[in-house]
Amino acid sequence: MTWIVTYTGKRFYPLAPRAEDVDIRDIAHALSLTCRFSGHTPWLYSVAQHSVLCATLVPPELRIHALLHDAAEAYLFDAARPIKGRIYLDASGNADTLDSLDDMVDVEETIDCAVYEALGIDNIRADDWLHVLRADAEMLSAEADRFFSPREDWMLTAPPADVRIVQAEPAETERSFLRAFADYMGLR
């Protein structure tokens, strides 16, 4: 099988994504049920919640990009950093090893392009993307402080974001993600 069935019932082809198969409801739903840190948090802290918080840390014109910076994970997975990009299933379902993390990045970027095309979002300039990456790094530091203190050996690259991370139900996080999406699309 070369496709997955999404929450809204579409067939999505992760290795050959098409814009017509992307639905923001699928992204919001899947990310609201995808736990950060491979599930090693005291409660379900989702990629959707992370993304909503991350979007508050960038200038308004970049918020849609920060909100969607992990959108590909709705169609793939959120693997722990040490293993992300190492295990991959080929089209026949056999385990295969990617040559590098770059191969996984290529798959994610292809999905991101389909997401942006489907949602009518322009690609982001490289220097603006640095703002999103910085916000993501600040969120990682805040999350490490919230869930894993002490964390002396994490080699974090940014100070923690000034955000309040609270427990939220997946349905609430899904709604927050969709509200943020609607709000940020209006800012473009």
Per-residue pLDDT tens over the stretch 8-33: 999 999 999 999 999 999 999 999 99
Asked if 63 and 184 count as a contact pair (C-beta separation under 8 A), the reply is yes
Model's pTM, two decimal places? Answer: 0.88
Q: Quickly state the pLDDT bin for 102 (edges 50, 70, 90).
A: low
Please state the domain count of the chain: 1
The residue ranking higher by pLDDT, 107 or 83, is 107
**Which CATH number characterizes residue 54's domain?**
1.10.3210.10
Does the pLDDT value for residue 98 go beyond 60?
A: no
Residue 42: CB atoms within 10 A of its CB come to 8
Question: What is the arithmetic mean of pLDDT over 116-122?
Answer: 96
State which residues form the domain around 110: 4-187
- Token pair of 1 as six digits: 């099988």
- pLDDT, residue 101, reads 58
Question: What is the H or E stretch that residue 169 is in?
Answer: none
